[in-house]
Structure 1
Amino acid sequence: MLRFAHIEFLWGLAGVPLLLLLFIWVTRWKQKALTRLGDKQVVHKMMPEVSFSRPWLKVILWLSAFTFLIIGLADPQLGSHTEDVKRKGADLMVLLDVSNSMLAEDIAPSRLENAKRALTQLVDNLHDNDRIGLIVFAGQAYVQMPVTTDYSAAKLFLGTINTNMVPTQGTAIGDAINLGMKSFDFKNGTGKAMIIITDGENHEDDAVAAAKAAHDSNVMINVVGIGSQEGAPIPVVLPNGQRQGYHLDENGKQVITKMNEEACKEIAAAGGGVYTRATNANSGLGVVMTQIGKVQRKMYGSKSFKDFEDRFQYFIGLALVLLAVEFFISARRNMRLSRIKLFEVENK
């Protein structure tokens, strides 16, 4: 397997065609200038030391050296072989509500942003080799990231989440639970759990039945309720991120969204997990993770490359050789060597 330790250096290869085009443009400009001086053959005889082919050879050598130098700086590495790695962990799927009601600001700065920050901290505190996945849902559910141990990718995906990701509005918690069940690999035998972060408002399907079915399959369902029972208006956020007032009902009054705590409790109870409520001071994930800590962590196998060896020295060395060759090639003809006619028959 080939990889680059510093892949960002490969952007330098974009300069190769640009430099070649610049050289071609300068060469044509010189040819046009010589043409204006007079007949082409006469001008060439007036400049016997000038070579029109050697500059091309020199630039090819220089660009080749530049290419190898960039590749060398990127540090190509080869994995010598793969090995079966045994890891011990659990699978965790986060189900995050991205309906418009999650824009309410009764939990600062908003329900959704508060949840995203809490989940970022959760990822930082995961046990080694625990795997995490992410599903976003509103009126429908979508897998944002399958279960993985790539915690950096998890935080990257969390940063991109917004309420425009799901076109259908609503809160289909049951659909999200069913999708989470399909996303798990039950063959690896690891313990499995879900964390649902939602305001629980207007769920459109039988989320309690979905949670119970998951629990019957040994998947723990935990719920973090986010929002206040007093409620808050829902800001209208445009695709460019700007706010434009609040959502209004058919009578022109502000829509007030309130957390449905009873629904959240029922889902957690049916799923064999815990329910906790997020506040401005406490995300509630600490309680949930304590409960998830009871999930049995089992061994699972995976293949990974090991013994990656650096290969930059070959490319750097080749670049230096080409630069040395280019340095010793003169752009002009050697008049002494040009007088030697190896294949010309002398007339007597």
Structure 2
Amino acid sequence: MIEDLRFAEPAWLWLLAVPAGLLVLWLRMLLVRRRDVRRLRTSRQVPLRERFGAFGDALAWLGVIAAVACLIVALARPQTVASLVRRGGLDVVVLLDGSASMHVTDMNGSRWQRSVRFLRSLGDALSWTDDRIALTLFAHIAAPQVRLTRDPNTLFFFLDHLGDASPFRLEDDTSWDTNIELGIDWGLRIIDKDEELNGASANTKVFVLLSDGQAWSGTVAQSLAAAREREIPVFVVGVGTQLGGLIPDPKALPGAAALVSRLDRASLRTIASAGGAEYFELEQRSDREIAARIVDGARRRAVAPPVEAQLEEMYWPALLAAGGLLVAATLFLRDRADLWVQAAGVGAILITALSLFG
């Protein structure tokens, strides 16, 4: 639309008076030609009927005039205003359980290894253009690993180097607890620290909790209330099976009872419901489907950013139009001298384009 058209160098536009004047001369030439054609038809007598074209070479010169106008418009550097609609980004904070029960091997490997494989699918589901991801581990204590980043290599570097076992060792007493409350609190701290360093982000915040829920402690309701107050949903992904498995205990005394860990599905569902999101369970759906549903659910909560106006340069289309009009004009020429004039015009346009925009 005309209101969306602007020129970066409008001083060149006054030269459009030249093709406007040439257009007036072209119309006069066309009228004179038609008058001469009528006179010839009435005054001359020839054995065969003469045929005169309606325009003759006039169309060729009309193409030249239009090409000159396009060249002048190109010199003025036309720009159009296009609306750029961007979707809202996500800030995904992964809260990964690293407690002793995640060493149980009831899921084609340990629960920790199974969680890491799922995180790869979650990383693939993000756009990495506007989306960011962070990662914190928790057991009895919490340990943030990755700050909010748009660099997928940062996440995958962690997954590659800690994919076999949790950094919380079984020999440490702090590994023998699942403090989900502390994990959520540290997720909130990661967001606060990012805002302190980089300013407030327009991205929608979302927590993804991966845990078996075994022997969890802390007042989870308080941390969930804090997340809900900041409109941060907590998606929960259960890791483990109802059959469960033995927790390897390197400090177990001879004859001591074995420790069995089972998926605490009921507690995890309660956390997801209180967190205003959904509960998923690995092996019940594919990792890609779970990751896609989490990302889609988070995007539905995202607030679309305002429409941005973006300028698109139109000088190259204007130059191409000028060259195309000159080439088309040669199709209507019958005089070789006129053809050379047209060739010179094409050369002038190419030289102008290379000197100004090359």
TM-score by length of 1: 0.54
Shift of 1:299: 5.1
2:155 aligned partner: 154
Choose 195-204 or 211-220, whichever is displaced more. 211-220
The one-letter code of the counterpart of 1:220 is P
1:120 aligned partner: 120
Q: Does 1:228 align with 2:234?
A: no
Partner residue of 1:276 out of 275, 280, 283: 280
Shift of 1:90: 1.4
Gaps of 5+ in 1: 1-85, 237-243, 301-348
2:146 aligned partner: 145
Partner residue of 2:259 out of 246, 255, 261: 255
Shift of 1:234: 2.0
2:108 aligned partner: 108
Structure number having the greater helix percentage: 2
CA contact (8 A) 2:97 2:138 kept: yes
Secondary structure of the 1:264 match is helix
The CA distance in 1 between the partners of 2:157 and 2:116, in whole Å, is 11
Structure number having the greater strand percentage: 1
Shift of 1:190: 2.0
Partner residue of 1:290 out of 287, 296, 314: 296
Shift of 1:98: 0.8
- The CA deviation string for residues 227-269 of structure 1, in whole angstroms up to 9 with x for no partner, is 1112111235xxxxxxx7xx85785222110111111111111
Q: Does 1:131 align with 2:129?
A: no
Secondary structure of the 2:105 match is coil
CA contact (8 A) 1:90 1:297 kept: no
Choose 277-286 or 101-110, whichever is displaced more. 277-286
Counting matched residue pairs gives 206
The CA distance in 1 between the partners of 2:253 and 2:276, in whole Å, is 37
Shift of 1:87: 9.2
**1:209 to 1:280, Cα distance in 2 relative to 1, 3 A:** same
The CA distance in 2 between the partners of 1:192 and 1:209, in whole Å, is 18
The CA distance in 2 between the partners of 1:90 and 1:147, in whole Å, is 10
Partner residue of 1:164 out of 158, 163, 167: 167
Shift of 1:107: 1.0
Identity of aligned residues (%): 27
Shift of 1:212: 2.4
CA contact (8 A) 2:90 2:298 kept: no
2:90 aligned partner: 90
**1:267 to 1:230, Cα distance in 2 relative to 1, 3 A:** same
The CA distance in 2 between the partners of 1:144 and 1:255, in whole Å, is 29
TM-score by length of 2: 0.53
CA contact (8 A) 2:88 2:299 kept: no
The one-letter code of the counterpart of 1:271 is G
Indicate the RMSD between aligned Cα atoms, in angstroms: 2.5
The one-letter code of the counterpart of 2:131 is D
Larger Rg: 2
Shift of 1:103: 1.3
User: 1:309-320 to 2 correspondence within 5 Å?
Assistant: none
**1:174 to 1:150, Cα distance in 2 relative to 1, 3 A:** same
The CA distance in 2 between the partners of 1:87 and 1:281, in whole Å, is 27
The CA distance in 1 between the partners of 2:256 and 2:248, in whole Å, is 14
Secondary structure of the 1:92 match is strand
The CA distance in 1 between the partners of 2:270 and 2:183, in whole Å, is 16
The CA distance in 2 between the partners of 1:205 and 1:211, in whole Å, is 11
**1:105 to 1:280, Cα distance in 2 relative to 1, 3 A:** farther
2:212 aligned partner: 199
The CA distance in 2 between the partners of 1:234 and 1:160, in whole Å, is 23
Choose 250-259 or 126-135, whichever is displaced more. 250-259
Partner residue of 2:231 out of 200, 215, 218: 218
CA contact (8 A) 2:125 2:292 kept: no
Shift of 1:119: 0.5
Secondary structure of the 1:114 match is helix
